[in-house]
Structure 1
Amino acid sequence: MSQRSCLSVILAAGEGTRMKSALPKVLHPVAGRAMVQHVIAAAKEAGIEDVALVIGHGADQVEKVLGAGNHTIHLQEKRLGTANATLAARDAIARGYDDILVLFGDTPLVDPSDLMAARKALSEGASIVVLGFEPENPTGYGRLLVRDGVLEAIREHKDCSPDELKISLCNSGMMAIRGDVALELLEAVENNNVKGEYYLTDLVEIARSKGLNTAVSLASVESALGVNSKIELAEVENIWQRKRRRTLMAAGVSMHAPETVFLSFDTEIGADTTLEPNVFFGPGVRVEDGVIIRAFSHIEGATIARGSEIGPFARLRPGAELAEKVKVGNFCEVKKAVVEKGAKINHLSYIGDAHIGAGSNIGAGTITCNYDGFNKHKTIIGESAFVGSNTSLVAPITLGNGAYVASGSVLTQDVPAGALAFGRARQEIKPERGSFLREKLSKAAAAKKKT
């Protein structure tokens, strides 16, 4: 089977009215990635070389999200059923693949192993292979009518006899077709039904009438789950998150409250890392071994090296690159900044567009003032520097190795290595003036109450 060529036709033209959204249905995200991108990824993992994406509603948006890639775009002008949608990719199908897999852009949990099993059935002599599944409640699903191991027909729920309604094997909608007969079978589908549409399910009986072998390949229930509403989207998200958490914990990641940790499709976390409750990972995060991420931290587009400690209540934004044994503490934000080994940003600080040298200490309330209203500017802090609390560093600015900045400073000029910098007004003390001011303000407040 590994040498058989394969095309995946992914149907993604539906409007998704039940989503109640201006966003095309297949672009709604699961784990930070559009549903249709999950399906494309599953096809690739199953060894499917090429993808033909059939789009319709919101075509421009779908193309923009997917961008360039190893897929072709095909437009379904009018929504006239699943067989009609599949034929929108006629040019791709006609290239002469051994296998054609018809998938759906709203089934983000489809398992690559189920796709591989369907392809295996094709290689063993079937011309049509329908991916079936067995839900707890089959109500509403089309039933697969199998006799002596042969799939004879697909019966829609509303058309089932009482005995057929007892069948638990249901139609997922996904189908594998032998490439050399795909166009012949698709073109034979007629629209003799109430809706006047062309249904992919008719291929089974058409194939049987031509003496071709048809079969069922059993898929998991999760593989077959389609998303048609925001409620179903949330249910699929929960399934994805639960599976991914279990995978990470099995690989050595500790989670105090797994159900409160949210991951993205590409989150990488090393062994012996500990995640406290309510940690959120956006796309593009890589965490090495032995990291501690404390509660209520939000991380996206960041890399965290081994032995570092983050949070609680920390935010790492895209471009944050933390070296080994870095500490980013409570209510700190780091964005587009490199923080070298052993540096500490402990409390209530914002570090953006910066480079922090190894072993440096950033005091509480420190801000890198990186934006002048038009452009971003960089702050560079050398190794083993000390920045006192409540300091504003107005970029562009450089602090040399071992520089020491007094608390409460506003610095606008570079500080040489080993130098001490003050950037604040001189303190003045006026004896008895405090008592005078307190008495004055007290009398004013009393007078205001009387009125």
Structure 2
Amino acid sequence: MNNEAISIVILAAGKGSRMKSNKAKVLHTISGKPMLYHIIKESKKISDDITVVIAHQKDAVVKTMEQYFDDINFVEQDAVNYPGTGGAVMDITPKHDKVLVLNGDMPLITAESLKGFLSLEADIIMSIFDLKDPSGYGRVIIRNEEVEYIVEQKDASDAELNVTTVNAGVYAFSRSILERYIPFLSNDNAQKEYYLTDIIAMAKEEEASIVPLLVDEAFFKGINSKKDLAEAEVIMQNRIKKRWMEAGVIMHLPDTIYIEESVVFEGECIVENNCRITGESKIVNSHIKAGSVVEDSTMVDSDCGPMAHLRPLSHITDTHIGNFVETKKATLHGVKAGHLSYIGDAEVSEGTNIGAGTITCNYDGKNKYKTIIGKNVFIGSDSQLIAPVTIEDDVMIAAGSTVTSGTVASGNLVLSRTKMRLVKDFYYKFFGKK
């Protein structure tokens, strides 16, 4: 696609009151990223001139998007004096002769789904749906392959109500059309807003060419409620998982798996049912077993689970993480941690075995401290390592031991237990003989 031929304007100024949220609508997330992020990401594939129109919570919108993009134009809409979609484009100065206007609540669009706006030539290209039940939508009347007019349902005749073609809300205008008709927009309507669709009516009166473009609702679905948000999430998730399965990832019951947009797989990978993989996670030749969670972590030639939790900044290589093991900001290379352990703020080297119930005690209530464990260390079950602590190579830690801060030199055995004591016949004294 030619990314030098079209300017894109994204309307992201609305409050989204039907979302029933204090957060700006366009900042609600789909598969780990704000809705607006997805739209900008796809827009950048086809355009080098992107403008985002903002108003409601404008500072939050700009700050969030600047985390991902550094070359987006933001224009503030005067939503008090010039509300509505028409008001949103009043202060836009597009670079190119064709201007594509997108809505900030359509996170499912893709560059591929927009290609029709690039290939068609007309004064106005108007997106349309064909719905089995068009109730509630304005009807688009088409004659001789051009848009004749748009009629709202309440104003439609019986014949017009039988039309199933509706407005999908995305338009491509020639820059000259916008420049000509925007000054004539009026807010003389019940909502007292300036409507972009009024340009279509004015342009038609002067015999401009207005071509309909049939689009797939799966890509142009608008998000107006949290129900819509959930439905869009399902569509986005299916796309993400389909892409990775086609790339060779094995997924067990994929409908039960959640994978965010930023996750990357390489090589032979398996993801079992009920797993959640988020953030900037990278999975290479690894197996994530049922019920596990991987957040902003890297797995290489490793397996985790079932029911394991790799919290952010975990890096495991050639490592086995078993059931009910949790890691956080931990680097493990060639390690076995079979079950029921917490490994946080730690570095663990190859050949080390971490027994059940082992805990790196990394937080003293004020500060976090690091645990360093060398090669070929055997840590017995139910051990506590109180950071900061260094365990050198070839150390054994007996089950039930507490290792206090300091360094344990190579070759040593750590044994920290109270002496076992037997009290004869205590059971019978306490409960009595049956």
Same fold (TM over 0.5): yes
Structure-2 change in CA distance of 1:434 and 1:8 (3 Å): farther
In the alignment, the residues of structure 1 paired with residue 308 and residue 53 of structure 2 have an alpha-carbon distance, to the nearest angstrom, of 42
Picking from 311, 314, 335, the partner of 1:320 is: 314
Work out the CA distance in 1 between the residues paired with 2:164 and 2:193. 26
Aligned to 1:354: 346
Deviations 1:199-233 (A, max 9, x none): 11122222233443221222211122111111111
User: What is aligned with 1:310?
Assistant: 304
Superimposed CA distance per residue, residues 40-79 of structure 1 (whole angstroms, 9 cap, x where no aligned partner): 112113x222322222222233233223522222222326
Residue of structure 2 in register with 1:104 after alignment: 103
1:59 aligns with 2:70: no
Local SS of the residue matching 1:414 = strand
Q: Which runs of 5+ in 1 are unaligned?
A: 447-451
Equivalent residue runs for 1:22-421 within 5 Å: 22-45=22-45, 47-67=46-66, 69-78=70-79, 80-87=83-90, 90=91, 93-121=92-120, 124=121, 126-289=122-285, 291-306=286-301, 308-323=302-317, 325-340=318-333, 342-412=334-404, 413-421=406-414
Residue of structure 1 equivalent to 2:428:
439
Instruction: Please state which structure has a larger fraction of its residues in strand.
Output: 2
Q: How far apart, CA to CA, are the structure 1 residues paired with 2:93 and 2:18?
A: 34
| 1:168-219 deviation line (CA, Å, top 9, x unaligned) | 3221111112234423332222223222221111222222334432212222
Q: C-alpha offsets along residues 328-383 of structure 1, whole Å, 9 cap, x if unaligned?
A: 1111111111111x311111111111111122111111111111222211111112
Of 210-219 and 237-246, more deviation after overlay is shown by 210-219
Residues 8 and 100 of structure 2 are in contact (CA less than 8 Å); yes or no, is this contact kept in structure 1?
yes
Contact 1:297 1:313 in 2 (8 A): yes
Inter-partner Cα distance in structure 2 for 1:278 and 1:332: 17
What is the TM-score normalised by the length of structure 2? 0.93
SS of residue in 1 equivalent to 2:126: strand
Paired residue for 2:417?
A: 425
C-alpha change, 1:50 and 1:317, in structure 2 (3 Å) is: farther
Normalization by structure 1: what TM-score? 0.89
State the number of aligned residues: 429
CA distance in 1, matches of 2:339, 2:320: 10
Distance 1:268 1:16 in 2: 32
The alignment partner of 2:364 has SS state of coil
Runs of 4+ in 1 over 4 A off after TM superposition: none
* Change in CA separation of 1:163 and 1:254 when aligned onto 2, cut-off 3 Å: same
Secondary structure at 2:351 match in 1: coil
SS at match of 1:118: helix
Contact 1:135–1:221 (CA under 8 A) maintained in structure 2:
no
Cα RMSD between the aligned structures? 2.1
**Which structure: greater helix fraction?**
1
The residue matched to 1:304 in structure 2 has which SS? strand
Are the counterparts in 2 of residues 152 and 204 from structure 1 also a CA contact under 8 Å?
Answer: no
Q: Deviations over 1:381-428 (max 9, x none)?
A: 112222111111111111112222221111122112233222x13424
What amino acid maps onto 2:171 in structure 1? M
Secondary structure at 1:332 match in 2: strand
Taking the aligned partners of 1:285 and 1:398, their CA distance within structure 2 comes to: 28
